[in-house]
Amino acid sequence: MSAWAAYVFPGQASQKVGMGLSLYESSASARAVFDEADTALGFPISKLCFDGPADELTKTVNVQPALVTTSIACLAAAREALGRKLPDPAFMAGHSLGEYTALVAAEALSLPDAILLVRERGRLMYEAGIKAPGSMMAVIAFDRGPLQEVCDEAGVEISNINAPGQLVISGAVDKLERAATLAKERGARKLIPLNVSGAFHSTLMEPVMEEFGRVLDSYSFQSPRMPIVSNVTGLPLTNGHEMREELLTQLRRCIQWQASVEYMTAQGVTTYYEIGPGTVLSGLIKRISPDAQTINLAEVEDISALNEPPSPA
Between 104-108, 150-154, 194-198, 288-292, the lowest mean confidence (pLDDT) is in 194-198
pLDDT tens-digit profile of 223-234? 999 999 999 999
pLDDT band at 309 (very low <50, low <70, confident <90, very high): low
Cα separation, 90 vs 80, whole angstroms: 20
pLDDT band at 313 (very low <50, low <70, confident <90, very high): very low
Q: Which residue has the higher pLDDT, 264 or 196?
A: 264
What does the DSSP assignment read for 240-255? Answer: HHHHHHHHHHTTTS-B
242 to 223, 246, 250: CA distances (angstroms) = 9, 6, 12
pLDDT at 153: 98
pLDDT beyond 80 at 70: yes
Which is the catalytic residue, given 22, 27, 96, 260?
Answer: 96
Global model pTM greater than 0.85 = yes
**Rounded mean pLDDT of 135-164?**
97
Q: Is 191 helix (H, G, I), strand (E, B) or coil?
A: strand
pLDDT at 132: 93
Of the candidates 117, 126, 15, the one whose C-alpha atom is nearest the C-alpha of residue 63 is 15
pLDDT at 308: 74
pLDDT band at 307 (very low <50, low <70, confident <90, very high): confident
CB-CB contact of 180 with 192 (8 Å): no
Which is the catalytic residue, given 27, 46, 159, 201?
Answer: 201
pLDDT tens-digit profile of 82-115? 998 999 999 999 999 999 999 999 999 999 999 9
pLDDT band at 46 (very low <50, low <70, confident <90, very high): very high
pLDDT tens-digit profile of 117-134? 999 999 999 999 999 999
| Phi, psi at 109, each rounded to 5° | -150, 140
pLDDT band at 2 (very low <50, low <70, confident <90, very high): low
Q: Which amino acid is at 206?
A: E
Catalytic-residue membership of 71: no
Full set of structural domains in the chain with CATH: 2-130+202-307 (3.40.366.10), 134-193 (3.30.70.250)
Q: CB neighbours of 231 closer than 8 A, spacing ≥ 6? A: 93, 94, 95, 96, 99, 246, 250, 253, 255, 256, 257, 260
Cα separation, 274 vs 129, whole angstroms: 29
Catalytic-residue membership of 241: no
CB-CB contact of 7 with 75 (8 Å): yes
| Phi, psi at 176, each rounded to 5° | -65, -40
pLDDT at 195: 87
Q: Whole-number mean pLDDT of the chain?
A: 95
pLDDT at 310: 56
pLDDT beyond 50 at 217: yes
Q: CB neighbours of 232 closer than 8 A, spacing ≥ 6? A: 246, 249, 250, 253, 254, 255, 256
